[in-house]
Structure 1
Amino acid sequence: MTRRGFVGWTMAAAVGQAMSQWLGFGEAQAAGGPPPAEGPIPRRPLGRTGESVTVLGLGGSHIGRQADPAESVRIIRGAVDGGITFLDNSWDYNGGESERRMGRALKDGYRERVCLMTKFDGRDQKSAARQIDESLRRLQTDHVDLLQFHEIIRPSDPERIFAAHGAIEAALAARKAGKARFLGFTGHKSPDLHLAMLKACEAHGFHPDTVQLPLNVMDASYESFEARVLPELTRRGIGVLGMKPLGDGELLRSHAVAPEDGLRYAMSVPGVSVTITGVDSMEILAQALAIARGFEPLDVRRRTALREAAAAAAANGQYELYKTSHHFDSTHQHPEWLG
């Protein structure tokens, strides 16, 4: 796959271990990999980029948590062989281990079959440029297809990124040098911060190709990205990368959301290009692929029923810890990564 010729992408975040307790596809499938195809994974336009993406993709965080690195490679290659073509990652995932394992998995022709994304934390030009180059070395590639500013989770982030000698200079230089095809940003904390970043982008003449944000059945009831940010992305023609369909498994603790329903809801949100899901076993991969193959979105009545069933549990954000705590805030725990 060349920088100009890749076909289709797919992304996602967090199905979690509990999925295996709710969904069953047989021991043979769990041991042998993805189940037989029941149709291709559908594709959707990725904003105004002219590219299409599959509705499901592989998240990078869980990949680096495996006790056995070889199992991580097996999962990544199983995902690609099963039809997933977009791989998510980040410079800060598991001390770089997620990128290193993905780099090993993408040898032997696999790199040419995927669209590869990673993220960086640096807010100044120097630290951002260093992290971008470190990611490329770990991933064993000369370019990623999508590069994103990671964790827009504090009011100062847009100002620092667009300041003189800010991270925007490193991102634009990486794109100009062919190290990245497209640019975007991510965040999980507050719709207000996403909207502030969009405003800053507009003020500085920067047009993000993608934006990554939490979209799930509980989001609609508390500080909703779906209600407040998604319409702005659609209006601007920005590709929408949905993440945290099950909140890293936290939504399941409420007993108001079943894994299959949660993933189907996230993949059905109108305007979403792709849902990024975390996978930490071949069994979970098989289950996710079974949902994605031949996927048909839930209709508005079914989506409404699922939101209403989860509304009471979702009201104060107690199961969306990425909004209400610092549990998922890697740059809060390591501010030195910001530069």
Structure 2
Amino acid sequence: MTPRHLGTTGLVSSALGLGCMGFSQAYGPADDAESTAVIHDALDLGITMIDSAMSYGGGHNERLVGRALAGRRDDIVLATKFGIVRDAGGVRLDGRPDHVRGYCEASLERLGVDTIDLYYLHRVDPEVPVAETVGAMAELVAAGKVRHLGLAEVNPDQLERAAAVHPIAAVQFEWSLSWREPEDDVVPAARRLGVGLVPYSPLGRGLLTGALPPGPFPAGDFRGEDPRFADENLTRNLALVRALAELAGRHRVTAGQLALAWLLAQGPDVVPIPGTRSRGRIAENAAAAGVHLSGDDLAALEAVAPRQAWQGDRRSFAAHGTTRTR
């Protein structure tokens, strides 16, 4: 898989990564053995970016990833995050500088490694200036515990304030063919500052695969709270996905592969991290890195699934759901 450079700090990743959240939460029960097999398959297919977080499953995800990557540390770009805390009191944000080192050392222990390649602030703590949190993160780089810094779900002003303290290699945020608002603000700001782009949910939380489970979402699947998957919105969105699948068929690829290829075509600084719990799906996703779209292809895709046609405002869900679950 062709490598891509994120930011200006020397971080190199495969064109596609693997988002690991679904192994521990948000989409219902998962099987650790199958999750481990998916990670191994991803590495064998040339995927090097493996993305976790201390909050996913309350530490379960980092422990799972650490076990799966044992003996293959040199094959990967290991990313994890801090700042969303799950404990007996519920879920909260914590970016206090005096807590950053402790969170990092706990993640290192769960992952079973000495160094984290890309360490993200998962969410900005509204009680702490982002520059102060990033200052503490920079100390981790100086100490050799972390190689590169990242931020997740920030606005342009927060990104600029952070980059003034220490180089930021990547910014992570939701971006897909069905959710394009970041193109108005975060994407141009990151490019102006030389920060790489790591879109999560690049398949629209499964919507763009055209393979949603039938019937209502089961308990534990947070898509049941997302307005994009509700009633009439879902009906209209699935009509767009059917048009996308028809166009994909002309290219002899799946709808999901076409959606990933579209995102990869947005620039060489883009490294999407689709998540999956299916060994078949990880192979399908990896193959999308070999799908090259021409200008005419991109125009045709825009014609059948234009930005303004997708229904459901993610922001009303993200105000509580994203912080709680991702």
Aligned residue in 2 for 1:20: none
**1:119 offset after TM fit, Å?**
0.6
Structure number with greater CO (CA < 8 Å, separation at least 6) is 1
* Runs of 5+ unmatched residues, structure 2: 84-93, 211-233, 242-254
Match of 1:263 in 2: 260
Matched with 1:304 is 299
Q: Secondary structure at the match of 2:168?
A: coil
Give the equivalent residue in structure 2 for 1:24. none
Aligned-residue sequence identity (percent) comes to 30
Question: 1:263-298 deviations in whole A, cap 9, x for unaligned?
Answer: 221222124331111010111112112223xx1432
1:177 counterpart letter in structure 2: A
Q: When the two structures are superposed, what TM-score results if normalisation uses the length of structure 2?
A: 0.75
Q: Does residue 284 of the first structure (1) align with residue 281 of the second (2)? A: yes
Within 1, Cα distance between the matches of 2:7 and 2:167? Answer: 12
Q: Please name the residue that 1:111 is paired with.
A: 73
After TM superposition, give the deviation of residue 214 of structure 1 in Å.
Answer: 2.3
Distance 2:64 2:325 in 1: 24
Helix, strand or coil at the partner of 1:213 = strand
Residue in structure 1 matched with residue 48 of structure 2 by the alignment: 85
Residue in 1 aligned with 2:216? none
Rounded Cα–Cα distance in structure 1 between residues aligned with 2:320 and 2:56: 11
Aligned residue among 82, 100, 111 for 1:128: 100
Separation of aligned partners in 2, 1:44 and 1:56: 9
Q: Provide closer, same or farther for how the CA distance between residues 243 and 301 of structure 1 changes in structure 2, counting only shifts above 3 A.
A: farther
Letter in 2 for 1:181: R
Q: Distance in 1 between matches of 2:133 and 2:293?
A: 39
Residues 240, 271 of structure 1: 8 Å contact kept: no
By how many angstroms is 1:314 displaced?
A: 4.1
Distance across 1 between alignment mates of 2:295 and 2:188: 16
Q: Distance in 1 between matches of 2:158 and 2:39?
A: 32
Equivalent residues in 2 for 1:53-92, closer than 5 Å: 53-65=13-25, 67-92=30-55
Distance, in Å, in 1 between the alignment partners of 2:310 and 2:35 is 36
**Change in CA separation of 1:217 and 1:296 when aligned onto 2, cut-off 3 Å:** same
Are 2:135 and 2:166, in contact at CA under 8 Å, matched by a contact in 1? no
The DSSP-based 3-state class of the residue aligned with 1:218 is coil
Where do residues 84-233 of structure 1 align in structure 2 (5 Å cutoff)? 84-107=47-70, 109-121=71-83, 122-152=94-124, 156=126, 159-162=128-131, 166-187=132-153, 193-202=154-163, 204-220=164-180, 224-233=181-190
- Unaligned 5+ segments in structure 1 are 1-40, 188-192, 335-339
1: distance between equivalents of 2:307 and 2:135? 44
Residue type matched to 1:171 in 2?
A: M
What does residue 27 of structure 1 align with?
Answer: none
Secondary structure in 1 matching 2:261: helix
